[in-house]
Each structure stands twice: as C-alpha cells, then as structure tokens.
Amino acid sequence: MEALAVRLSGLDPYVGGAIRVVAFYDTMMRRRVDLPALARASSGLAECIAGLRLHGSGRAIRMGPDGREPSGPPSPPSSSAPITLDDEEIGTAWLERPGPPNPLDEVLLDRLAIAAAAAVERYDPSRTTMADPALVELVISPDTDEAARARALRLLGFAAELPVRVAAVRSPVPLDRVGALVCPGHPVKAAPLADVGVLLAMTLDAARFPAEVRAGVGAAGSPDCSWRQARTALRFTTPREPVVRYADLGALALLAELPPDTARANPDVAAVGRLAASPEDLETLDTYCATGSLRRAADLLHRHHSSVARRIEQLGRTLGIDLSDPTGLTRARLALTAWRLLGE
C-alpha cells in the first residue's frame, strides 16, 4: 500500500495522500484501538483537534495534536461526518481546523467514522439501539433457559438481575428512532421480529410514542412474560387509543384468551360484526362506549346532542341492547372489544 501511494503521489498528490489516510485507519482497526486512541491518532494525523461524540451517552472525546484533551472551549467544527452502525446513525466525528479545510479532511473523517463504528461494535455494543434479532428473540422467548437469557441480556447491555420492560410496536417510524424517543437517556434495544417490532428497556415513557405508532407495553419483570403481555396489549390498540399498557387492561385482558369460535358465536359480538358494515355507526358506538356520556360523545363526534341520542337509541335496537342502561353499556363495550380482537 505504501509503495502504491508513493508511485501515485508522483502523478496525483491527492490520491497518494488519500491512500495513506486509508492505510493509516486500516492499521488502527487492525490494532483494535478504542475511541480515545482513535481521536488522539486522528488529531495527530490531521494536525488539528479531532472529536468523536456518541448519541447514546452524549459525551464528547476531543483530542489535540499534542495527544492531550484541549483545555479551551470547543470551536465550531470545520467539517464533520456521521458515525453509522447497521444503518443507524450513532454519533458524529469532526475536525476543528482553523483556517481553510485540508483537501484530505473528507477522506480522513470518512475513515475515522468507519473506524469509530467498528470500535463501538467491538467494545460497547450497548451504545447502539438496533440489536441482533436472534439475541432479542432469546431474551423474550418462553423456551429460553434462564442461563441463556441472562447471557443474551448481558450481550445487549442489560443487567440480568434487573427487570426489563418489553414493548410490541407496529410503526412506520424506524425502530431506533422510536426507541430514542420513548427512552431518552436510558438504555434501549430494538429489533424487528416477524410482523412486529420489539423494544427492550429498563424504563420507557409511553406518552412519548409518535402519534402514528401502535404499541403494547408489558409490565417490568421477566422479559418473556413482559413480551407476552406486550403482544396482548398491542391487540387492544385502536386509532383512538394507539398505546396500551397491559397493566391498564385489568380484567379486559381475559378477552384475549377467548377462543375465536367462542367469541364469534356470541350474539352481542355477532351483532357488532353486522353493525361494522357502517363505519359511521361503528364510530358512533365506539365513541359512546369510550365516553359513557351522550354529551361527551356528541362533542367528540361534532354533532348535536339530540342527534347522537337518537342514533344511540337506534343502534341499541339494532344490537338488541339497552345502551342507556349501565349493564347494557358494559355488554356493548365487551362485544366491541371482542369483535376487534377477532379482526386483529
């Protein structure tokens, strides 16, 4: 490589310099250097301050050409490059070069970012959000023995003895972005499994899920149990309630255990199924069941109270249920939920 760089530099100094930069970082990666060593070596090569920052920790590593951390405040970066690992942007590399940039700065930063990603993968995979789906599946599977589950948790950056909360997610938003939103400042791992995304975290803020995301959140505890709860909670999500905590379901969770044939054969569930042919009727029933109040339902539906009252009375006759009676309202809520679970 060095001989090639010498020959090419006679024809094109930039090409020769670029090859030397590539060879320099290839050597760094072969030596398996860590992030501080990378920043130190890069600052010496660039003859200016070089920096690295990982989004997960927010901590910046800055080194000057003398191999020490600069004492003064940071200058605005003269050039920068994203650090990516498995298509996830996990940090930034930059140079603080006074004066005009060096033509080789772009090549240097590109190779520095690649080397930094390799160092993160080698020394601290817990700083990344996206995880190996096989490891995540080991953690949440009920068939995994506890020793294997503990090993998988440690590899993912979690302490095996602490409770983990699992969320089941259906989302058009990338999972790593969802994880960063609901677990700011806390470890989180994400992986796609079959038709659903998985989030593993010690703690998460369910109120921070993006509006277009459907999520079921299990209780903190054994990951396999929390995963089962999360999948169940996900089945109860609706456009009106896109995020559901299993702990908030209470006895409603029992509906998820009903055999589908049993649910379909129930007269109330069958009546809701027939009603579903009219989306407007279904929305009216859903809103009334969710609020338990004609006036509140009218406000949400943007209709006059008397109009909604007549509609609810008509829907009650169609269902064969007195929706003005508390028992009838409970029957309608249960039937609507059971019908939705069949559709899921």
Mean pLDDT by 10 residues, the chain (344 residues): 41 73 91 89 93 78 91 90 83 92 92 90 66 89 90 80 91 89 85 91 91 94 94 93 95 93 94 89 86 83 83 88 90 93 81
> What per-residue confidence (pLDDT) applies to 13?
64
| pTM above threshold 0.75 | no
259-311, pLDDT tens digit by residue?
999 999 999 999 999 988 888 888 888 888 888 888 887 887 788 888 878 88
List own/partner pairs for 63-71 with CB under 8 A and 24 or more apart. 63/36, 63/39, 67/40, 67/43
pLDDT at 124: 60
pLDDT at 127 (0 to 100): 58
- pLDDT score for 122: 73
State percent of the chain over pLDDT 90.
47
What pLDDT, in 10s, does the model give residues 4-28? 344 434 445 677 788 889 999 999 8
The answer to whether 330 touches 286, Cβ cutoff 8 Å, is no
Rounded Cα distance between 47 and 66, Å, is 9
341 within 8 A of 263, measured Cβ to Cβ: yes
Q: CA of 287: how far to CAs of 43, 53, 88, 302, in Å? A: 62, 48, 40, 11
User: How far is it, in rounded angstroms, from Cα 285 to Cα 293?
Assistant: 11
Rounded CA-CA distance 106/265 in Å is: 67
